[in-house]
Amino acid sequence: MIILVLSDIHANMHALEAVLEDAGQVDAVWCLGDVVGYGPHPNECIDLIRQQPEMVCLIGNHDAACIGQINAGTFNQEARMAVEWTESVLTEESKVFLLERPQVEVIDQVTLAHGSPRQPIFEYLLDAESARENFEHFENDYCLVGHSHIPLMFAQNGDGEVRLSFPVLNQTLQLHPRVIINPGSVGQPRDRDRRASYALFDPEFETWSLRRVEYNIHATQDAMRKAELPSRHIDRLTGGW
CA-based nearest residue to 59, from 95, 91, 93, 29: 95
Q: pTM of the full predicted structure?
A: 0.97
**What domains can be seen in the chain, in order of their start residue?**
3-239 (3.60.21.10)
- Label residue 52 by pLDDT band (50, 70, 90): very high
| φ and ψ at residue 237, rounded to 5 degrees | -65, -35
DSSP designation for 167: P
The yes-or-no verdict on residue 182 having pLDDT over 90 is yes
Q: pLDDT tens, 102-141?
A: 999 999 999 999 999 999 999 999 999 999 999 999 999 9
d(C-alpha 209, C-alpha 198), whole Å: 9
d(C-alpha 166, C-alpha 109), whole Å: 22
Residues in the chain: 241
Burial string for 175-192 (b: 16+ CB within 10 Å, else e) reads beebbbbbbbbbbbbbbe
CA-based nearest residue to 98, from 86, 110, 81: 86
Name the maximum alpha-carbon separation found in the chain. 54
- 3 Cβ contact partners less than 8 Å away, ≥ 6 residues apart: 26, 27, 28, 29, 30, 200, 201, 202, 203
Q: pLDDT tens, 1-39?
A: 999 999 999 999 999 999 999 999 999 999 999 999 999
Instruction: Compute the half-sphere exposure of residue 75: CA atoms within 13 Å on the CB side of its CA.
Output: 20
The yes-or-no verdict on residue 73 having pLDDT over 90 is no
